[in-house]
Homo-oligomer: A and B are copies of this chain.
Amino acid sequence: MTATPTTTATPTETVPARFSINQATVKQLGLPELATACTDLGVRRVGLWREPVHAYGLAETARLMRDAGLTVTTLCRGGFLTDIEARARGWAIDDNKAAIDEAATLGTDTLVLVSGGLPKGSRDLHGARERIAEALTELAPYAADRSVRLAIEPLHPMFASDRCVVSTLSQALDLAERFPADQVGVCVDTYHVWWDDTAPAHIARAGATGRLHAFQLADWITPLPQGVLNGRGQLGEGAIDMREWHAYMEAAGYAGPIEVELFNEELWAGDGRELLAETAKRFRISLSGGDL
């Protein structure tokens, strides 16, 4: 680990209060290391993923976060609700209920949903989206009873077949609006919506009905890697004007945490603490002028 100027700035100067580090961004750090790094750098908020939480233990993670004074901004992720076959659908519902319970235990009010792709052999996007709605009729009240909101995250259209048939904010809101706003809303991630000139209008639509439940940042860089999953850019490295999207969210009344969620093999190969410090610094610079 080399101590570069970018990683030795005084924490209080570099970490805005609304900054949240999504655990996936620094997945080279185990949960205790993450908690320590956040404390050392002055980061107060984290987004967690179920798999590392399971590995460390749910109650143990909740205690670790509490003891470190960290707020869990979201849990990633529920979803994958597009199966056709009854038994698979039952499993998915049960797994999502477990995710909701975990979110409640971790003290976060938001479970992010990645809806799921086309079932094998199916070409019916519309049908898949309807099955998501059907599953939400069971999951939304279950979540509400535990003070957890579901945040449907539209994923970039390049994931439409294999990961998420909900490709736009418009589609996500069409689903969410069938349910009460405090039960189902959306997660806006710049990486997934930046290309869409209708997205700003749908951010406003979501804000007007109280459905902006999460906001995540990642930059768009090319060339995309094989499989396109782990090619997200560090803030400032790519094509997305972060300040512009933050302004849309602010104008729509969003005042919650702002997570940075990067999946990037190259960043994961480096030092996790340095990456956290660098990400917080870039967050501050990329969004300078906004309410942070």
Please name all residues of chain B whose beta carbon is closer than 8 Å to the beta carbon of A198 when the two chains form the complex. Answer: 170
Contact B220 A161 (CB under 8 A): yes
Residue of B157, B162, B197 touching A126 (CB-CB under 8 A): B197
**Protomer copies:** 2
1/0 per residue, CB under 8 A from B, across A235-257: the answer is: 00011110010000000000000
A interface majority secondary structure:
loop
For A156, the chain B residues whose CB sits under 8 A away are 157-158
Contact in complex: B118, A196 (CB < 8 Å): no
Residues of A in contact, count (CB < 8 Å)? 33
Q: Which of B171, B225, B239 contacts A226 (CB 8 A)?
A: B225
Contact A239 B197 (CB under 8 A): no
What residues on B are CB-neighbors of A222 within 8 Å?
Answer: 161-162, 227
**Interface of chain A residues 138 through 162 with chain B (CB within 8 A):** 156-158, 160-162
Chain A 108-161 residues near chain B, CB threshold 8 A: 118, 123-126, 156-158, 160-161
Q: Is A167 an interface residue (CB 8 A)?
A: yes
Q: Please, which residue of chain B has its CB at the minimum distance from the CB of A197?
A: B171
Q: Does A98 contact B (CB under 8 A)?
A: no
Is A223 interfacial (CB-CB < 8 Å)? Answer: yes
Q: Does A224 contact B (CB under 8 A)?
A: yes
Chain B residues within 8 Å of A239, by CB? 118, 123, 160-161
